[in-house]
Amino acid sequence: MATNGVLFSSGFGYKYDCAPSKGTVNAILIFIDFPDQTASEASPQEVYDLLIPQAQQWFNTSSYGQLSLNITADTSRFYRMPKNAAEYNFVRPLSQQAHYAYVQDALEQWLAVTSTPVPKVNSTEGPLTDIFYVIPTRNATGIELSAALTGGTYTKNVNYIARKAVTMGIDTFDWWGYKAVNHETGHTFCLPDLYPIPTGYTGIYAGNWDMMANVGASSPDYFAWDKWRLGWLADDQIECVVTSAAPPNGSNIASSTTHKLTPLETTGGMKAVVVKHNATMAMVAEVRSREGNNLNSCTTGVLLYTVATDLGTSEGPIRVLDGNPGWGTTSCIIDDLDNAPLSLEGGGASAYTSTDLGVTVTVVEQDGDDYTIRIDIS
């Protein structure tokens, strides 16, 4: 379960007015420019086409068709912000106050032109939309980073507009492309950042195994644990094992269990084994392949990681366990964790023991990208 008081806890039942992660999530998208950094694009449609269709498809693939990102985009113009880009101080670390003021200014410019009806103050009918997106011209170099506004979005008259807001920055155009939209939208579902903030090596916790750790990851799909929390994986696609540190009431602890796993990227089948250690810690095993959103994955196999629900965003709530410490010889490796998975192929490790958790995971059979693993509890 989610830990109270932990921002974006990775436990189940986290409540922070998160955007819906299953079915249709509705969004409004506007485009902006600035007095000192004006748009040179022929139309906002140019920016829309660069980012949005691929981001929508990424979510469709990741969710196995269970999430539809329904964006109503105003491509009629770039709405002119009232201040120069530099005046918004949009640099890391970005304060919540500065971010909120930026979103409100964009919102007010849009409403002034469109006269869009908004919910009445103190209305109990919910917000106008789930997510409010603001994307600047690619000439807006003063907006240095993309970010998600983790609280609700309101007008200056306190009309409730959206559960969350997402703003894209120059890093989207220079580095990340459409995947920055997927990363920041992940925060609207209350997924945490899996890299350290404000400083530290990006891949220290989760390497290139989730875009919430590295937007440009070679295997960017969300971890099975989070797909389960988002409702994209059903309970019967997860098998659970309990260690002696967290025995269920009135039941015995199995010392050895066997599990068959299919790749995370494919529809159907068993997707993960969760080994519960205590109320806030678990180990998870899942299979990564070169399918779906992970087409460019450096390596494949059984990926192991821990989940700590008492650690918040940027504190390492999910940490990949390195089955093959060291950089290895695979030419694509750019991070120490790129060769973390276990496998019976490629000369790497086929077993991993966590002495801290008292758990050993062993690959006992491999049929293409389908794996059979044994969990031994000590």
Q: What are the extents of the domains in the chain?
A: 23-188, 224-377
pTM of this prediction? 0.95
Here the tokens at position 121 are 């103050």
* Amino acid type, 149: L
CB 211 within 8 A of CB 222: yes
Cβ within 8 Å of residue 135, ≥6 positions away = 29, 30, 31, 32, 44, 47, 51, 167, 168, 172
Here the tokens at position 130 are 């789930």
Band (pLDDT 50/70/90 cuts) for residue 327 is: low
Band (pLDDT 50/70/90 cuts) for residue 123 is: confident
Euclidean distance between CA atoms 297 and 48, whole angstroms: 27
Tens of pLDDT, residue by residue over 32-87, are 999 999 999 999 999 999 999 999 999 999 999 999 999 999 999 999 999 999 99
Euclidean distance between CA atoms 70 and 133, whole angstroms: 12
Q: What would the CATH number be for the domain defined by 23-188?
A: 3.40.390
DSSP string, 45-60: HHHHHHHHHHHHHHHH
Tens of pLDDT, residue by residue over 258-298, are 999 999 999 999 999 999 999 999 999 999 999 999 999 99
